[in-house]
Amino acid sequence: MSDYKALIEAVIKGDIKTAVAETQSVLDAGSNARDILDKGLIAGMDEVGERFSKGQMFVPQMLRSAKTMKECMKLLEPFFQEGDITSKGKVLIGTVKGDLHDIGKNLVSMMMEGAGFTITDLGVDVSPESFVQKAKEVEPDIVAMSALLSTTMPSMPRTIEALQRAGIRDKVKVMIGGAPVTEKYAQEIKADSYASDAGSAVSKAKNLLGVS
């Protein structure tokens, strides 16, 4: 069995050159591409999420780690057939109507993708109707909403109500986050989970779906 410590370390450090070389090295040594993804790249990104949540890493470093993983994935992709990479779950994400902030949402998207989730990103200023329409189309496990302005937060319960009216609220978990959003607010509007940052969003998503 291959040792992925050097690869994990390179992903955490955001050292693209070393990570790509290590990925090629373990491939040449006969390692399974699935193992390299799970035990090397995703394991590294999980650690990045942990450190970010604890304030031991910052946004630029996290972005660098995510870019490192993407570069390594280019080497692995030829070994996966369509549908061969098992997703931890499907996440539909967007910033709510009236809100044009996307940095936090983008970080959550990248961290979740790095952790093995399949992401559909609706962008910013997403209406409740757009969330519902796309949810019917892609059948996500989680609908994740972000709001950076207190004035746009009411779009969150409106979206939950729209999911209810469409008959799909019980088929999805709803996660919310953003600077003015709180755990208390999540409970008030009957969201399933609240995440304070990108790192905790990944662990909360895993808990919601019961995956490791």
Contact 171, 182 (CB under 8 A): no
5-79 maps to CATH 1.10.1240.10: yes
Task: Write down the pLDDT at residue 84.
Answer: 62
Backbone angles phi, psi at 92, to 5 degrees: -100, 120
- Look at residue 134 in the predicted model and tell me its pLDDT: 98
Per-domain residue ranges for the chain?
A: 5-79, 90-209
- CB of 31 within 8 A of CB of 75? no
Per-position pLDDT tens, the chain of length 212? 468 999 999 999 999 999 999 999 999 999 999 899 989 999 999 899 889 888 999 989 988 999 999 899 999 988 876 556 678 999 999 999 999 999 889 989 988 988 889 999 999 999 999 999 999 999 999 999 999 999 999 999 999 999 999 999 999 999 999 999 999 999 999 999 999 988 889 999 999 999 97
Q: Which residue's structure tokens are 């409740």?
A: 128
Q: CATH topology of 5-79 equal to that of 90-209?
A: no
How far from 22 is each of 17, 72, 109, 186, CA to CA, in Å? 9, 9, 25, 42
Query: How far is 106 from 198, CA to CA, in rounded Å?
Result: 9
The pair of three-digit structure tokens given for residue 47, joined into one six-digit string: 């650690």
User: How would you write the chain as a 3-class SS string?
Assistant: CCCCHHHHHHHHHCCHHHHHHHHHHHHHCCCCHHHHHHHHHHHHHHHHHHHHHCCCCCHHHHHHHHHHHHHHHHHHHHHCCCCCCCCCCEEEEEEECCCCCCHHHHHHHHHHHHCCCEEEECCCCECHHHHHHHHHHHCCCEEEEECCCHHHCCHHHHHHHHHHHCCCHHHCEEEEECCCCCHHHHHHCCCCEEECCHHHHHHHHHHHHCCC
Q: Report the CATH architecture of 90-209.
A: 3-Layer(aba) Sandwich (3.40)
